[in-house]
Amino acid sequence: MYLYHSNKCAIKKGIPLFRNVVSICFLRKAQNGDLVKRRKLFCNTKFISTISEERKTGCEQANRDQPSTPFGSYNEKSSYKDIKIVENEKEGNDAAEEINRNDIIAVDFEGTNLGKYGKVCIMQVYTEERTPGGVHPKSECLSREKYYIFDLLKMSVIKSVKKIIENKKTLKLVHDCREDSSALYNQLGIKFENVYDTSRAHMLLMEKNRNSDIYQVSFLQLLNDYLGIKDDCLSSIKKEMYKNEKIWEVRPLSKMSIIYALKNVKYLFPLYRIFDNMLSKKIVLEKSKDFVNYCFMNSRYKLPVDLAKRGNVVQAMLVSKSMLNCVFKLNSTRKGIACTPSSVAQFRDVKVGDVVLCVISNKSIDQKILYLCKHDDVYDYWNLKERPRGKFKPSIHENATDPMIQFCDEEESA
């Protein structure tokens, strides 16, 4: 649609003039560059309100023209008609029976500070049935898709959730199941079985491609990199979650929260098909077990303050590794980090996803970051008195220590 059209120029709605000029003969008549700049500035300010209005139309209009993928077009016009809300025992048993008939399902969880010490609120499940069809002999057509939302604030549905999650026959597609696994095991006594983790698959693919910096990827980044999808709805709800931590405890759930939850599981199927063509399924399943077993890490520490003490030996899972630092997950509300040259060098042989024993050398000022050194059975490297010569310096005794470190007494509580 054009706001203005003539034999000299054409101006498209909502786009700055100088990018859409078909013929710029009238600009050539300008005596100097300042006049051209003023014309561009005028056109930008003239139509900036139009652009702003289009950007504020909401998630449904922002993503209408999503690109097509080999697995179909994913856009905001997709309707979620077949949704089952499970709130009692009977509905849970019926849903579990239906879900367990499938060979593959997509699963995700939402909650408040989801993890060992958080609160799991809902479980969403997506299933789809495909029938042979299309031009190619091996091509398939999506015949039916179903969504299930389990209200985990209702204790009567927990048994049905356990039947689904612990079913060893059904393959469960999940993205980064570590905190989900920890929340389920420590709060509800449920352990994941037969999991294909797309986050772990991405790490394996980076290792296969010999990337120098291996890291855990966000779900939004995964969609953008592999499916070409940039979903503003997911981003907006994610921002809202940071503002309101208890958004998933509110009943009834908002429409946008439900759409966010359902999208998180629907996109897992096309991601799985891509990774399945690039990586061995057996290897991904085996490595995904490490993410599932994250729920057992540091189980001897009942509270975060018990774990966050200088000198404590803790299990740490490496989630990001570069020349500058190593970042660890501890199955706690705290995060571990090694950020000095000598402490980073201690983990040079450790791969992303591995669990390693570490010693807490100190804490950040807000006490949410724990500075780690690699544990040794013979020498206590973090202790200056016991550290032998020629060995690695721990971060607490190094000149290049992070300035955010707070030096505190070992007996001081977190």
Nearby residues of 58 by Cβ (< 8 Å), 6 or more positions away? none
The H-assigned helical ranges of 122-231 are 158-165, 178-183, 198-208, 219-222
Task: Check if the beta carbon of residue 305 is closer than 8 Å to that of residue 334.
Answer: no
Burial class for 3, CB neighbours closer than 10 Å (0-12, 13-18, 19+): middle
pLDDT score, position 384: 59
Report the alpha-carbon distance of residue 214 to residue 325 in Å, rounded: 12
Largest pairwise CA distance in the chain: 84
For the chain (length 414 residues), average pLDDT per consecutive 10? 42 41 38 42 35 38 39 42 90 96 96 93 92 56 85 96 97 97 96 96 88 80 91 81 87 89 94 95 96 96 93 93 91 94 90 92 89 80 58 51 43 40
Class for the domain spanning 304-374: mainly beta
Produce one character per residue of 172-206: b if its CB has 16 or more CB atoms within 10 Å, e if not.
bbbbbbbbbbbbbbbbeebebbbbbbbbbbbbbbb
Task: Kindly state which CATH superfamily the domain 82-130+143-296 is placed in.
Answer: Ribonuclease H-like superfamily/Ribonuclease H (3.30.420.10)
Report the alpha-carbon distance of residue 289 to residue 347 in Å, rounded: 22
Q: How is the chain split into domains, by residue range? A: 82-130+143-296, 304-374
pLDDT score, position 141: 66
Q: Let me know how long the chain is.
A: 414
pTM above 0.85, yes or no: no
pLDDT score, position 390: 52
Report the alpha-carbon distance of residue 211 to residue 207 in Å, rounded: 6
Tokens coding 13:
């709605």
pLDDT score, position 281: 96
Tokens coding 236:
């907006």
pLDDT score, position 156: 95
- Please report where in the chains the tokens 């299930």 appear, as a residue: 148
Alpha carbon distances (Å) from 207 to 202, 215, 299, 321: 9, 10, 30, 12
pLDDT score, position 139: 55
pLDDT score, position 380: 63
pLDDT score, position 268: 96
Report the alpha-carbon distance of residue 12 to residue 18 in Å, rounded: 10
Other beta carbons less than 10 A from residue 216's beta carbon: 19
Nearest to 287 by CA among 344, 354, 241, 223: 354
Nearest to 271 by CA among 204, 215, 198: 198
